[in-house]
Structure 1
Amino acid sequence: MTDVSFHDYATLGATERSALLARSETDLSSFLERVAPIIEAVRTEGDAALARFGQEFDKAALSPDRLKVSEAEFEAAFDAVDGAVVESIRFGIDNIRRFHEEQKPEPMWLKEIRPGAYAGDRFTPIRSVALYVPRGKGSFPSVTMMTSVPAMVAGVPELSIVTPPAPDGGVDAATLVAARLAGVDTVYKVGGAQAVAAVAYGTETVRPALKIVGPGSPFVVAAKRALAGVIDTGLPAGPSEVVILADDTVHGGLAALDLLIEAEHGPDSSAYLVTHSRRVAEEALAALPEHWARMSPQRADFSRAVLCGRHGGIVLTRSVEESYDFVNAYAPEHLELLSQEPFLHLGHITEAAEILMGTHTPVSIANFALGPNAVLPTSRWARSFGPLSVTDFVKRSSIGYVTAPAYPEFAGHARRLAEYEGFSSHALAVSELRDTYLKPRG
C-alpha cells in the first residue's frame, strides 16, 4: 500500500473538487514579491547583476564576460555528447520541422470582398525572440528543439536562447547541440527571473527581444507576468502537468507508468490518473511502488512528492462521463486518452492543450520525437491558449485595397456610420471633400 493521494470523486464537495484543479503556481503573489528586486537589479546593473545572480542562484562560476556561449563551447558540446544522442536530436528536429512547416501560413492572402474591394492578411516574422530553456531539475535539449524549430520555420531573424548555467559556468552540452542543429547560434548563460529581465531590457551582453517563449519555474512565470508590459511573454507555460484518462480496456500498471512521466519533472508538477474503473485505480496503486523502484532516486522522490501531495494522485469517478467532466474542468497541459478505442473519447474532450491517443503514444514520445510542440499552456490556460506554434513567431497585418469603382458604395456606408457615432473627421474623409482632392490636376 502507498500513501498516494486517492480521491473518490463522488464523495467530494464543491470546495474539495475545486481544490483538485489548483496548481503550484496558482498563487504567484509571493513569487512576484521575490522577483521584483531581481528585475530591478538587472534593469539598472546589467551584466554585473546577471553574473551575481548566476553565482547566487545557480552556484555558477560566472563572470560578466562569460555570459554568452562561445564558438569553442559549441564545438566542445558536439565532442561531449554521445553520437547516438545526437542522432536522436536530429530525428526529433526533423519531425518537429516537418510538423511545423505544415503550420506555416501563406505570406499573404487577399479576397475580393465586393467587386473591386479586397481584404486579407499578411504574415511577417517577429524581428527578435528569446527562447527560455529551463535547467533547474534537469537538462532540456527537447525544449530547445521545440522552441527553436518553429521559430526558424517562421523566419525570425534574431533568435537567442537563455538557459541557466551549470556550476562550472557552462551550458548543458546537448542543449548546445540541439541549438546548433536547429539553427540558433546565440545562447546566453542566464536563467530564472533574471533571464526574463535581461531579454526584456537588454544588458551589455544580452540583446533585448520583442518576445520570450518557453516553460519555466514559478519564478520565471512571475517574472513574465511582472514584465508583460515590457516584453511579449507568449503563452503561459509553467511547471509540468498531466492527466491520464484511463478506461476499463487498459491495465492500471500502464496508467501508473505514464502518470509518472510528467510527475518526475519536480515537486511543483501536477499529475492525475482519472478513471471510472476501480480495477484500473487499484492496479495503478499496486504498480507505483514497482515503478518507483526502477527510477533514479531523485526522480522517484519528485514524483512521490507530486502523487502523494496536493497536486496529484488518483481520481476515481462514477462514470466515464464524470471523467470527461473532470478533464475539461482541469484543462490539462498534457492529456493521455489511455484506451484501446481512444477515438470514442476524443469528441468529449474540449479543454486540453495536447491530447495523446491510445496505448502507444505516451507523453515521452510527444515530448521528444513526434513533432507537435511540447511547449504547452499550463494552469488551465488550455481553455484559451494552444501549443506553441509557428504562428507564435509571426505577426499578422490586415491588408485592405479599395479600387476607384468600388469606393462610392463603401464611402457611403462608412460616412453614415461615422456620423452616427459622432466622428466628424471619419465622415469628412469619405465625403465629397475627398472627391475634390482626387480630381486630376488640370
Structure 2
Amino acid sequence: MSSVSFYETANLNSEAYKNLLRRSESDLSVFMEKVEPIIEAVRTEGDAALVRYGREFDGAKPLTEATLKVSEAEFDAAFDTVDAEVIEAIEYGITNIRSFHEEQKPDPMWFKEIRPGAFAGDRYTPIQSVALYVPRGKGAFPSVTMMTSVPAVVAEVPELAIFTPPTPDGSVDAATLVAARIAGVETIYKCGGAQAVAAAAFGTKTIKPALKIVGPGSPWVVAAKRRLSDMIDPGLPAGPSEAIIFADESVHGGLAALDLLVEAEHGPDSSAFLVTHSRRVAEEALAALPDHWAEMTEQRVEFSKAVLCGENGGIVLTSSLEESYKFINDYAPEHLELLSTEPFEHLGHITEASEILMGPHTPVSIGNFALGPNAVLPTSQGARTYGPLSVHDFVKCSSIGYVTRPAYAEMAKHARVLARYEGFSSHENAVSDMRQKYLGNR
C-alpha cells in the first residue's frame, strides 16, 4: 500500500487544487448506464426482478417474493437477538434525535394580517408517502434507520417504508429492525441498490410506490435517484461518506488522525481530509496513523487506507488559517470537525458545510449516533444549497390567503394595474367591475 497522500496547497496549481475537491460519485455516467436495465426490469417485472437482484447482488439466495417484506415475527425475533446494551444505545440515540427534531417541527399554520383585512400565511402538512433508504453494502447501519425514521415520524408522514438490502441469509440486520420499531416504522422491504429506488418509484405487487425517497447510498443509488427524479422526489444528494477534519495548533495531530479515520473507514469510495495550517499537527497525524490502524479491524484498515492513500483523502497542509477556511468552503464537506480548544473562533469563517462539530469532545462518531442533529447529510458539495435531513424534508408548505371585503378594493386596484401591464386580460377582468356584478353586497 502506498503512503498517505500529503498535499501542500502552496505547491498545487489550479487543476490539482480542483481535483482535490472531486468526490467518487462526481462522474456518474458509468453508473447511469448500468442502472438503466435494472430500473427497466423492476418496472416491467416487479417483485420477480427484486428477488433476482437480491440473490445476484446481495447473495440472498433464500429470498422469495413472499419474504420481500419483513414480517412481524422477524421484528419480534430481532429484540431477542440484539444485545441489551445495543438496544439501550439505540433507545438513547433515538430519544436525543426525537428531541432535536421535535424542535424543528413547524407550527401547523401561521397567519398574518398583511394589510387591514387581508391575511396571508403558510400551512404545513406531511408528505403522504416517503421511502427511507438504509444502505448495507459495507456494514449494517441502524443509525441511518434512526436518522431517517425519527424525523419522518415526528412529521407524521402517513406511509413510511424502509428499503434496505437483505443479508445473505435473506434477513435484515437485527439492530436495524430494532431501531425501526423503536422509532415507529414497521414496514421494511428487503431491497437495496438501484432496484430499491425503482421499486419505490414504480411500486410492485408487494411494495407501494412513494412520493419521495431519502437516505444515503452508493453511486448506484445516487444514479438511480437522478435517473428517476421525474418519477420520485430524490431528496437531498446523499452519496458516499466524506469528512474534513480541521485542526489548529491547540490540538495534537494524533487526535486529528483518530477522527480522520472515522469517515474514511466507511469504504473505498469515501472521502476524508485533514486540513491544517500547522506542519506540526500534520506530522503528528502522519506519525499516529499506523498506531490507530493497529487498533482497527482488517476490513476497515483496508477501506481507510484506500481513501487516505488515494485521490479522495489524505492530509492537506495550507499556508495560513485563511487558506484552510477557503479550502473547507470550496470543498463544502458533508461532515466537518473544528478540532480546536476555541472552535467558536473558527465557526464564523465557515459558510459551506453540512454538519459542523466543534471542539475536541465532539467527534463525528457522537454526531452519527448520539447527539441528535441529523447525520444524513448532503454530499459532493451539496452543502452549498442543501442542509441536513430534517423534519422539513417530510412536510410541504401551502400558502394561505384570505382577503375580506373591506380590504378587497385596494388590493384589486394594484393587482389590476400590474395585470394590465403584463398583458393578462383575464387577470385584469377578475379584479375589475366585472367581478362586482357577481359579488353584489357580499
TM norm structure 1 = 0.99
State the shift of 1:65 in Å: 1.1
Cα distance in 2 between the residues matched to 1:207 and 1:260: 39
- Determine the C-alpha separation between the residues in 2 that align with 1:206 and 1:303: 36
Which residue is equivalent to 2:318? 317
AA matched with 1:204: K
Match of 1:124 in 2: 125
Match for 1:46: what amino acid?
Answer: G
- Cα distance in 1 between the residues matched to 2:288 and 2:225: 39
Match of 1:18 in 2: 18
For residue 88 of structure 2, give the secondary structure of its aligned residue in structure 1: helix
1:70-89 to 2 correspondence within 5 Å?
A: 70-89=71-90
Report the CA distance between 1:63 and its aligned residue: 1.0
Q: Provide the C-alpha distance between the structure 2 equivalents of 1:426 and 1:45, rounded to a whole number of angstroms.
A: 48
Q: Distance in 2 between matches of 1:125 and 1:220?
A: 25
State the distance in 2 between where 1:347 and 1:35 align.
42
Structure 2 CA distance, aligned partners of 1:418 and 1:440? Answer: 25
Post-superposition offset of 1:439: 0.9
Q: Is the 8 A contact 1:2 1:289 kept in 2?
A: no
Q: 1:151 to 1:172 in 2, by over 3 A?
A: same
The letter for the 2-side match of 1:426 is H
The match for 1:40 is: 40
Task: Provide the alpha-carbon RMSD of the alignment.
Answer: 0.9
CA distance in 2: counterparts of 1:76 and 1:135, whole angstroms: 20
Aligned to 1:344: 345
Q: Structure 2 CA distance, aligned partners of 1:37 and 1:148?
A: 30
1:206 aligned counterpart, secondary structure:
coil
2:278 match:
277
- 1-side partners of 2:211 and 2:70: how far apart? 21
Aligned runs of 1:162-201 on 2, under 5 Å?
162-201=163-202
Size of the alignment, in residue pairs? 441
User: C-alpha displacement at 1:350, in angstroms?
Assistant: 0.3
Distance between the aligned counterparts of 2:270 and 2:209, measured in 1? 30
1:241-252, aligned counterparts within 5 Å?
A: 241-252=242-253
The CA distance in 1 between the partners of 2:114 and 2:271, in whole Å, is: 48
Cα distance in structure 2, aligned partners of 1:58 and 1:34: 17
In 2, Cα distance between the equivalents of 1:139 and 1:58? 13
Deviations 1:138-184 (A, max 9, x none): 00000000000000000001000000000000000000000000000
Once the two structures are superposed, the pairs formed by residues 319-398 of structure 1 within 5 Å of their partners are 319-398=320-399
Deviation by residue 1:231-254 (Cα, 9 ceiling, x = unmatched): 001000000000001001100000
Structure 2 match to 1:230? 231
Which SS does the other structure have where 1:113 is aligned? strand
The corresponding residue for 1:157 is 158
CA distance in 2, matches of 1:242, 1:144: 21
Aligned partner letter, 1:274: V
1:327-367 CA-to-partner distances (Å, cap 9, x unmatched) read 00000000000001000000000000000000000000000
Which structure 1 segments of 5+ residues have no match?
none
Residue 440 (structure 1) shift: 5.0
Report the residue type matching 1:28 in the other structure: L
Cα-to-partner distance string for 1:75-132 (whole Å, 9 max, x where unaligned): 1110100001000000000000000000000000001100000010000000000000
Give 3-state SS (helix, strand or coil) of 1:405's partner: helix
Distance in 2, Cα, partners of 1:268 & 1:259: 15
1:224 deviates by 0.1
Alpha-carbon distance between aligned partners in 1 of 2:272 and 2:49, rounded to the nearest angstrom: 36
CA deviation profile, 1:255-306 (whole Å, cap 9, x unmatched): 0000000000000000000000000000000000110010000001000000
Q: Quick one: distance in 1 between partners of 2:119 and 2:400?
A: 8
Q: Post-superposition shift, 1:2? A: 6.9
Aligned mates of 1:140, 1:166 — CA distance in 2: 13
Q: Give the % identical residues.
A: 75
3-state SS, counterpart of residue 142 of structure 1: helix
CA contact (8 A) 1:2 1:285 kept: no
